[in-house]
Amino acid sequence: MSFTPDIQAFCCHYTSQQTIAEGREGLKQDGMPDNITINRLVCTGKLQVSTLLKAFEEGADGVYVVGCPADKCHNIKGSQRAAKRVGAIKKALAELDIEPERIEMFHLERGFHPEFIESALLMNKRITELGPCPLKGEKK
Amino acid sequence: MIIAERKPINEILSMVADAEKILVLGCRGCVTVCSAGGEREVEILASLLRLGMQKQGKKVEVLEGTLVRQCDREYIETIDHWKGKYDAIVSMACGVGVNFIANLRPSDRVYPGVNTSFFGGSAEQGVWSEQCAGCGNCVLHLTGGLCPVARCAKNLMNGPCGGSVNGRCEIHKDVECIWQSIHDRLGRIGTPEAMNVIAPIRDWSSAGHGGPRKTLRDDLTV
């Protein structure tokens, strides 16, 4: 059975500049999978644990956050805070016996770069292999 | 403040396994300050409960609420607002909150959402350390303001034990020997002779060893 995961990406304003400049179609040409929804934020440090959990509640099979390199965040420690929160969710997912790899943090340079697409492809491959999130109550 | 930490999610899930409507109830007091049971943590626990139940194929409705304090009768009364809308309460207050709800709502099922640990202070962002044992017989005026009851692993009252090395506790190497600190501090504040005073055998009856303690303030009762 073919499975197309629902993946929610949360990116800060700076690391998602590529999405603004290229638009949906441009990104698609670069190889960005269609099933990834990009949620732009002023800073990943603004992300709350509950926002990321809500994404799973609303049916996401995988969630990832893209923020600035740890030492280059425009807001000093924003992406470090986000990484800590992603870590807390990994722990909670493991407690619920859900694969913690369903959520990930990436630290990427701002602007245009192939790594932005690579992180999307990596998550798409990983979550496709994991199958539907068991939180949906569906069979794998 | 009173320090607490969220219980493992599976422990909470097993407490409320047969509940269909759960009220997750936070407290804006101490547990908000130590990021264990305030509004934000209520939101997170509610989400985790929904996800956990969903995974088990159970239907659950989770209500979220936060009281000003769960250690005052007046605030507990405000949970009437949710009457009939829950069949279990998970309190994210310290243990006092759970007790208060249990006292005042004899037929309600109330469960602890956090483990309550100690009276502490914020050592640095995200780190809390025990500073007071609530023993009911304060000796801080004799010890330069540093508490040997709470902060000495052996609760010693007359100087350090033989295990103190380079100012560190022999039980926990990452903890300062509080008696070394008391000694140094008494010197700095000009009362080194206080170290020579022998503290008598301590009366622990005020420390809760005689059952639950009670404080009565006549000036405040009405």
pLDDT of A1 reads 63
**pLDDT bucket at A25, cuts 50 / 70 / 90:** confident
Tally of residues, chain B: 222
The DSSP bridge partners found for residue B28 are none
The yes-or-no verdict on residue A124 having pLDDT over 80 is yes
Cβ contact A69:A108 at 8 Å: yes
- Give the pLDDT confidence score for residue A139 in this predicted structure: 41
Q: How far is A29 from chain B (nearest CA, A)?
A: 36
Average of per-residue pLDDT across A87-94: 96
A97 pLDDT above the threshold of 80: yes
CA atoms within 13 A on the CB side of B19: 26
Average pLDDT over residues B192-196: 94
Find the CB nearest A137 among B9, B43, B54: B54
The ipTM (two decimal places) reads: 0.85
Say if the Cβ atoms of B47 and A137 lie within 8 Å: no
d(CA B136, CA B142): 15
Distance CA B116, CA A89 (A): 22
Would you call A96 and B48 a contact, using CB atoms and an 8 Å cutoff?
yes
**pLDDT at position A21, please?**
79
Q: Indicate yes or no: CB of A137 within 8 angstroms of CB of B48.
A: no
pTM for the predicted model, two decimal places? 0.90
Contact A40, A16 (CB under 8 A): yes
pLDDT digits (tens, 9 = 90+) for B100-121: 999 999 999 999 999 999 999 9
CB contact at 8 A, B55 and A96 = yes
The Cα–Cα gap between B64 and B197 comes to: 54
Give pLDDT, residue A140.
39
Determine the pLDDT at residue B197.
92
Contact B37, B24 (CB under 8 A): no
Q: Please identify which residue in the block is written with the tokens 């609760």.
A: B155
Tokens of B193: 């002779």
What's the pLDDT band for A40 if we cut at 50, 70, 90?
Answer: very high
Query: Max Cα separation, chain A?
Result: 45
Residues of A in contact with B9 (CB under 8 A): 92, 95-96
Q: Give the pLDDT confidence of B32-72 residue by residue, as tens digits.
A: 999 999 999 999 999 999 999 999 999 999 999 999 999 99
Task: Compute the distance between CA of residue A103 and CA of residue A87 in angstroms, rounded to an integer.
Answer: 9
Q: Within 10 A of B192 (CB to CB), how many other CB atoms are there?
A: 13
User: According to the model, what pLDDT value does residue A113 have?
Assistant: 81
* % of chain B at pLDDT higher than 70: 100
Indicate yes or no: CB of B55 within 8 angstroms of CB of A137: yes
